Amino acid sequence: MSPLEQTWADKPGILGWLSTVDHKRIGLRFVVTTLVFFALAGQLAAVMRLQLARADNHLVGPDLYNQLFSVHGTAMMFLFAVPVMEAVALYLIPLMVGTRNVAFPRLNAYGYWLFLFGGVMLFVVFALNIGPEAGWFNYVPLSGPEFSAGKRSDFWAQLITFTEISALIGAIQIITTAFKMRAPGMTLARMPLFVWAMVVTSFMIVFAMPSVMLASTFLITDRLVSTQFYNPAEGGDVLLWQHLFWFFGHPEVYIIFVPALGMISEILPTFARRRVVGYVAMVVALVTIAFLSFGLWVHHMFTTGLPPLGMSFFTAASIMIALPTGLQIFCWIATLATGKRVQFAAPLLFVIGFFFIFIIGGLTGVMLGATTLDSQLHDSYFVVAHLHYVLIGGAVFPLFGGFYYWFPKLTGRMLSERAGRWNFWLFFVGFNVAFFPMHILGLQGMPRRVYTYSAASGWENLNLLSTLGAFTIAVSMLVFLVNVVMSLRRAGRAPHNPWNAATLEWATSSPPPAYNFATIPVVNSRTPLWEQKFPMAEVTGLPDILPTVLVTRLHDAEPDHVAILPTPSLWPFLAAIATTVMFVGSVFTPWAVVWGAVPVGITLIGWFWPDKEEAARMLSIEVKPSEGEARVVALREALS
Amino acid sequence: MCLRFPELAAVLLAMTGVAGCEREQRRFSEPSGDALTITTPLTDIEAGGQAQPAVAKSPYDENAFAISEGQRLFEWFNCSGCHAHGGGALGPALMDDVWIYGSEPDQIYSTIVQGRPNGMPAFGARIPRQQVWQLVAFVRSLSGGLRKDVEPGRTDSMQMRPAPSQTQDNP
Amino acid sequence: MTARSTIDVSRLPTYAFGHRSLMWWATMGMIAIEGTVFAIAIVAYFYLRGQSEAWPPSGAPPDLLFGTINTVILLASGIPNHFAARAAEREDLRSVRLWMVTCLVMAVAFQVVRALEFTTLNTHWTANAYGSIVFALLALHTTHLVTDFIDTVVLTVLMFTGPLNGRRFVDVSENADYWWFVLAAWIPIYFTIYLVPRLFP
Amino acid sequence: MNHQVLAPAGPLSSEIAQLFWVFVAVAAVVYLLVIGFLVAALRRRNEASMRTALRTVSVAVAITSVILLGLGLSDFFAGRALAATPHDPLRVRVTAHQWWWEIEYSDAQPARRVRTANELRIPTQRPIELELTADDVIHSFWVPSLQGKKDLLPGYTTRLDLIASRAGVYEGQCAEFCGFQHAHMSIDVIALEPQAFTAWYDAQLSAAAEPQNPVAAHGRDVFLGSTCVMCHNIQGTDASAVAGPDLTHIASRRRLAAGTVPNNPANLAAWIRDPQALKPGTHMPATQLAGDDLAALAAYLSELR
């Protein structure tokens, strides 16, 4: 073993598994965990579709049905859609920017464990009949102390705390890694669009998530210690919840959607054999989407009787956000049009599926953004159709494209193309059969979240059709699962760069070694692997007796200093357990916040406290900032 | 059974115990018959000083949903009219630990069903048994007589009394 | 093929202060998140204020005494904080120890007064939405105060016991940045809790 | 079907339906154009020139802006038309409960205020102004054939105008999730010709009908002697509780339990005997009654026209 391998290797066995801080191991685990939650939440949807397949059905009663859709929505949003994008990013971004780990490896591990424990908690409490019951946006007063007895809504509120902390950690991680750890020469203008998309997403997370954390904290204190935030009789207000929730909730949709845009911008050019058209316009569009997304939360509240003038503003913002999204779509079509002959591989199929489905969702979104139309469509099955067209078409299809695309990099195995086609067509057809009829059901007056409907309503046939579509989707997911399992068992490793793609993650082996790159490449292009002279240079002299990474400057990515990253540790795992105990305890008693903080504090101090031997090794390679300065200037000259 | 996935039973039982399950049940109706039939005599005044009968277990003392239903009925049936919101007015206070006719579930049940001298009407013919038991559980929670995790929080109305889950336990 | 050229980074510094360091970005991320929490909580305060005819709806506004004393202490704590950060950048261990201990003493004083502050708010979180949001704001700030206090205690102990190396001074400097945030956040919260009920009753 | 967004029965819903078709037409054209370009890009033989591509993108962006602006404006003007203050409206207060609708017609004379439940009768051609509020959680009033929806929020009073152009029954349903029986919280809006409406209104002002036969008379005794009186009101009797729907004229209504089942004596008896079987979670408890008593009670209530 070379010193480099030795330094970056994890301990063997279960201890190594629990204490790893390798972004790839954690990232892969993270992706798999979110997919398990996706599968579980999908099964809940299947039960709901069975219940709705017939009028006046008695398969499940209202109590269970309410939990089913609440857990389904909560899990899909908080345990799948947002985290899966972050999980993919935490795996890929260090590879894409040419570094060896994320900026805060131990924090990364903590964020994952916390997410895992929070997600497991949701499904455990659901199995125990303590599942959330007031929908994924959990409106007060239905979720408040008077109308939601027991602990169901408290667990919902604490699930939010778990997942938001994890998401916020991921966001800080992504911003710092993308901004400060890019390979030398990878200026901001050369950063892959997926990384841009994730940076934009991360900023949205930072400013959106605090709102829902505050809202759910107010909710849990209303329930547990009788605060009056949402009690109209004591100066509280039920719309306060909706404002706080949707101030987060609308950006949330874009937090899910923007990473998918980034994935498309990686996949599509590879198969069109062409750089993406309008790179700068794409980045500007992403940033514009992020800004606008904070200005349209009220379009979820058009029917609450807010003043009409204010609503016009939000209508304008809601409709205008279609512009940057449209711009991206046009640029991709232009990329396809000006590229070489298109290769119809499975990843691209899913991207093409995105166009067909998402554009419908976008157009119905414009309808919902219009105040007048919204008054008819809001909270009907039309909205259920719309949100699935946007989220599945806009995010899950690109995500599956991403799975097919990056699977060889993650596992070293190729997925079967043939199975991929089956997967795609079943998913595509099943999706449209399941969700298109819901538009019509909404127009026929079917409200969302009803556990049954009468035969006289005339909704039965379309609902039955929708259920058939849902089960077609389930079959397509089985095909995907079988494809993954068979591919993993097949012999034969995937090459470094099976798709002949352009970005840095394809410059290393599949799967990459623990240290990602034997030497850090120097980049002089937006599509380095397509350029003749890659790499134009390599970085040498990174110390290898400790895990070190090169920190570069924000805008021009010139080498700035060498950062020593923390080594594997069990403390993040222990800290996550302590945090879990505190959060779950606080569902039952406010004092858990006090006594629960003690183990959290202890584990965090244990995590922080430096190891003597390691500190000595750090000293041995230490170069003080005052000493290194002259060298930086010389490097800059060498690069330019 | 509170478990939906029997295969998880062993793990889950070890983790959380069964207590949570009863707390979260939403029992909309009770099977007619014995379940709610009180087994003790409806009065605790027995000729000849006989031994106290076994105390009937309240079916809802650990059921948060039923207690919150009791809370709603307490207002709907205008119990507040005499007992205020538990603080007492025409009728005695229910939040303290002074019980004229006993604090055991069956005693409160009898009080509601049979009435008591000096003003408490008999509601036996007017309130179905299930709802009486819901009221019993709620009344017991008013004085902090139940487990904290099943007692209701504040209501969405003027705060005339502390929420049962906020009161000190009266053993 | 010509031989690849190389960039040798072996003499680059192994840590750096300010926005060059990764720690700075983590701290700023934390500040952005927590700052948003404070901002939204204050917006919620004004939203609830808009729902009510009188403010406070009943009773007196919070007593000024302890809150104002605390504001003075907190502003004063900026001085040792500033010098602690400076000393860290000079890597002057003795001064770092001195100023950090000074910071701690002030933080203890602050927390004692904060405890008194809670008793003179003239409301309770169960009383009405006004009471709830006032307690929420003060509790939020106190949480940051206590966590940063513990943070500082641990760092100070480390400064005395070791093991030390250069990058621990970066930790001290970032800890100081965070304290600036806790300090800066207090000003709008003080204004909101203590002055708004008096200026806009 | 009488609960369709696209089968409007009044000027307000017509306005929205027309706007919807405008949006759909524009959306269809846009969709076909974009997909057309996509397919062309995928199936082309030769690479398109970069200049053409960029020019097309710019034009597409410009067209998109114009379309979005047009749609936004058409929504704005439609919204203004809908928000116009109606002349001489009939004011009705609607209070939503878990899971039924309490309806009170306002009138300057308190004695002429009509209270009913789950069924809103209105005169045709006359604007109705609803004052909406909720007693417990958030609900939403939605009668698709007549108007878009509006939420009913505890602590707020919201307003909604309705106009029915022609007589008919228009069904609606609570559109904001409100708990166990959100699915069974329907409201019937019955538009009557003005004279018919006045006749109905005057009939509603009267007290409950006296029982016409011994069975019904026994039924009334059962009602007044059992659990019913804890929640319900029947004008002209001792039953005066307000926790549940007013039953003074229950027999005149189309459906029972907020649209759960059609209103007939058999359903009425089934509902009283075991409401939880029809509407699990409803706040109405099962009533233990002997067979004769139940039949008599149903007979009595069925006479309350």
> Residue A399 in contact with residue A84, Cβ under 8 Å?
yes
C88 has which bridge partners?
none
Tell me, what's the pLDDT at D176?
Answer: 97
pLDDT tens column, B92-114: 888 888 888 888 889 999 999 99
Q: Please tell me if residue B76 touches chain D, with a CB cutoff of 8 Å.
A: yes
Alpha-carbon gap, residue B108 to D134, rounded angstroms: 33
pTM of the model: 0.95
Alpha-carbon gap, residue B166 to B134, rounded angstroms: 20
> Residue A261 in contact with residue A328, Cβ under 8 Å?
yes
Q: How far is D74 from chain A (nearest CA, A)?
A: 9
Provide mean pLDDT across the span A99-112. Answer: 97
Domain D214-302 = CATH 3.10.129.10: no
Asked if the Cβ–Cβ distance from D176 to A277 is below 8 Å, we say no
Tell me, what's the pLDDT at A635?
Answer: 61
CA-only gyration radius of chain C, Å: 21
Provide mean pLDDT across the span B132-140. Answer: 94
In a domain, C13, yes or no: no
Q: Which of these, B110, B133, B115, lies nearest to B41 by C-alpha position?
A: B110
Residue C1 has pLDDT above 50, yes or no: no
Provide mean pLDDT across the span C70-93. Answer: 94
Q: What share of chain A in percent tops pLDDT 70? A: 97
| Contacts of A among chains (3+ CB pairs under 8 A) | B, C, D
Q: Please tell me if residue D174 touches chain A, with a CB cutoff of 8 Å.
A: yes
Instruction: Tell me if D90-205 shares its fold with D214-302.
Output: yes
> Residue B126 in contact with residue B52, Cβ under 8 Å?
no
Q: What share of chain A in percent tops pLDDT 90? A: 88
Q: How far is A640 from chain C (nearest CA, A)?
A: 12
Mutate to test the interface with A, among B24, B72, B160 (most CBs of A within 10 A): B24
ipTM over 0.90: yes
Alpha-carbon gap, residue A151 to B20, rounded angstroms: 9
Q: What residue ranges of chain D have pLDDT lower than 50?
A: none
**Domains along the sequence of chain A with CATH:** 3-504 (1.20.210.10)
Q: Please tell me if residue D48 touches chain A, with a CB cutoff of 8 Å.
A: yes
**CB within 8 Å of A626: residues ≥ 6 apart:** none
**Could you identify the residue written with the tokens 């007015």?**
B89
For C186, the domain range is 20-49+63-196
Interface residues of chain B, partner chain C, Cβ below 8 Å: 154, 159, 162, 166
Asked if the Cβ–Cβ distance from A227 to C33 is below 8 Å, we say no
Q: How far is A197 from chain C (nearest CA, A)?
A: 18
pLDDT bucket at B162, cuts 50 / 70 / 90: confident
Residue D258: list chain A partners with CB under 8 A. Answer: none
Asked if the Cβ–Cβ distance from A370 to D137 is below 8 Å, we say no
pLDDT tens column, D109-123: 988 999 999 999 999
Provide mean pLDDT across the span C170-175. Answer: 95
Residue A554: list chain C partners with CB under 8 A. Answer: 19
User: Residue A627's closest chain C neighbor by CA?
Assistant: C13
Tell me, what's the pLDDT at C200?
Answer: 85
Q: How far is D226 from chain B (nearest CA, A)?
A: 5
**B28, B72, B125 ranked by CB distance to D225: nearest:** B125
Q: What is the mean pLDDT of chain B?
A: 77
**D75, D156, D183 ranked by CB distance to A372: nearest:** D75
D122 backbone dihedrals φ, ψ, rounded to 5°: -135, 155
Asked if the Cβ–Cβ distance from B126 to D243 is below 8 Å, we say no
Asked if the Cβ–Cβ distance from C91 to A624 is below 8 Å, we say yes
Tell me, what's the pLDDT at A479?
Answer: 97
Mutate to test the interface with A, among D73, D137, D147 (most CBs of A within 10 A): D137
Task: Provide the number of CB pairs (under 8 Å) joining chain A to chain D.
Answer: 234
Tell me, what's the pLDDT at A28?
Answer: 97
pLDDT bucket at A630, cuts 50 / 70 / 90: low
Residue A187 has pLDDT above 90, yes or no: yes
Provide mean pLDDT across the span A287-306. Answer: 92
Asked if the Cβ–Cβ distance from A352 to D153 is below 8 Å, we say no
User: Residue D132's closest chain A neighbor by CA?
Assistant: A305
Residue B85 has pLDDT above 70, yes or no: yes
Tell me, what's the pLDDT at B39?
Answer: 45
Tell me, what's the pLDDT at D1?
Answer: 59
Asked if the Cβ–Cβ distance from C33 to A206 is below 8 Å, we say yes
pLDDT tens column, A308-351: 777 888 888 888 899 999 999 999 999 999 988 888 999 999 99
Interface residues of chain A, partner chain B, Cβ below 8 Å: 63, 124-130, 141, 144-147, 149-152, 222-226, 228, 230-234, 588-589
Domains of chain D: which residue ranges? Answer: 11-83, 90-205, 214-302
Alpha-carbon gap, residue D172 to D141, rounded angstroms: 7
Domain D90-205 sits in CATH at 2.60.40.420
Tell me, what's the pLDDT at A339?
Answer: 87
pLDDT bucket at A491, cuts 50 / 70 / 90: confident
Q: Please tell me if residue A213 touches chain C, with a CB cutoff of 8 Å.
A: yes
Residue B162: list chain C partners with CB under 8 A. Answer: 126
Alpha-carbon gap, residue A9 to B26, rounded angstroms: 52
Tell me, what's the pLDDT at A632?
Answer: 60
Residue D282: list chain B partners with CB under 8 A. Answer: 28
Asked if the Cβ–Cβ distance from B29 to D274 is below 8 Å, we say yes
3-state helix, strand, coil in chain B (%, to 5): 35, 0, 65
Three-state DSSP class for D120? Answer: strand
> Residue A238 in contact with residue D138, Cβ under 8 Å?
yes
Alpha-carbon gap, residue C13 to A249, rounded angstroms: 43
Residue C111 has pLDDT above 50, yes or no: yes
In order, the DSSP letters of A459-502 are -HHHHHHHHHHHHHHHHHHHHHHHHHHHHHHS-SPPPS-TT---
Provide mean pLDDT across the span C32-53. Answer: 95
Residue D44: list chain A partners with CB under 8 A. Answer: 337
Asked if the Cβ–Cβ distance from A234 to B26 is below 8 Å, we say no
Tell me, what's the pLDDT at A311?
Answer: 81
Q: What is the mean pLDDT of chain C?
A: 93
Alpha-carbon gap, residue A448 to A467, rounded angstroms: 15
Tell me, what's the pLDDT at B30?
Answer: 77
**A238-277 b/e (C-beta count within 10 Å ≥ 16 → b):** bbbbbbbbbbbbbbbbbbbbbbbbbbbbbbbbbbbbbbbb
3-state helix, strand, coil in chain C (%, to 5): 75, 0, 20
Provide mean pLDDT across the span A556-574. Answer: 94
Task: Quote the DSSP letter at residue B79.
Answer: T
**A positions 144-183 inside 8 Å of D (CB):** 146-147
In a domain, C8, yes or no: no
Q: Is the peptide bond before C56 cis (omega within 30 degrees of 0)?
A: yes
Q: How far is B18 from chain A (nearest CA, A)?
A: 9
Q: Please tell me if residue D29 touches chain A, with a CB cutoff of 8 Å.
A: no
Alpha-carbon gap, residue A399 to A350, rounded angstroms: 8
Tell me, what's the pLDDT at A356?
Answer: 97
Q: Which residue has the higher pLDDT, A412 or D48?
A: A412
- CATH of residue C108's domain is 1.20.120.80
pLDDT tens column, A43-92: 999 999 999 999 999 999 999 999 999 999 999 999 999 999 999 999 99
Q: How far is C57 from chain B (nearest CA, A)?
A: 13
Q: How far is C40 from chain A (nearest CA, A)?
A: 7
Mutate to test the interface with D, among B25, B26, B27, B28 (most CBs of D within 10 A): B28
Asked if the Cβ–Cβ distance from B166 to C127 is below 8 Å, we say no
Tell me, what's the pLDDT at A424?
Answer: 98
Asked if the Cβ–Cβ distance from B156 to A233 is below 8 Å, we say yes
> Residue A26 in contact with residue A108, Cβ under 8 Å?
yes
**D230, D283, D286 ranked by CB distance to B126: nearest:** D230
pLDDT tens column, B10-64: 555 444 544 457 889 998 887 654 445 554 444 444 444 444 444 567 889 999 9
Tell me, what's the pLDDT at A576?
Answer: 98
Based on the structure, what is the number of domains in chain C? 1
Residue A170: list chain C partners with CB under 8 A. Answer: none
pLDDT tens column, D33-67: 999 999 999 988 777 888 888 899 999 999 999 99
**A127, A226, A233 ranked by CB distance to B12: nearest:** A127
Number of alpha helices (DSSP H) and beta strands (DSSP E) in chain C: 6, 1
pLDDT tens column, A213-246: 999 999 999 999 999 999 999 999 999 999 999 9
| Contacts of D among chains (3+ CB pairs under 8 A) | A, B
User: How many CB atoms are closer than 10 A to CB B158?
Assistant: 10
Residue A146: list chain B partners with CB under 8 A. Answer: 68, 71, 152-156
Q: Domain B29-46+54-166 is of which CATH architecture?
A: Orthogonal Bundle (1.10)
Asked if the Cβ–Cβ distance from D158 to A305 is below 8 Å, we say yes
Residue B4: list chain A partners with CB under 8 A. Answer: 126-127, 129
Provide mean pLDDT across the span A475-483. Answer: 97
Alpha-carbon gap, residue A483 to A378, rounded angstroms: 39
| Contacts of B among chains (3+ CB pairs under 8 A) | A, C, D
**A positions 491-530 inside 8 Å of C (CB):** 522
Asked if the Cβ–Cβ distance from D72 to A316 is below 8 Å, we say yes
Helices A308-320 and A322-338 meet at what angle, rounded to 10?
10
> Residue C43 in contact with residue A211, Cβ under 8 Å?
no
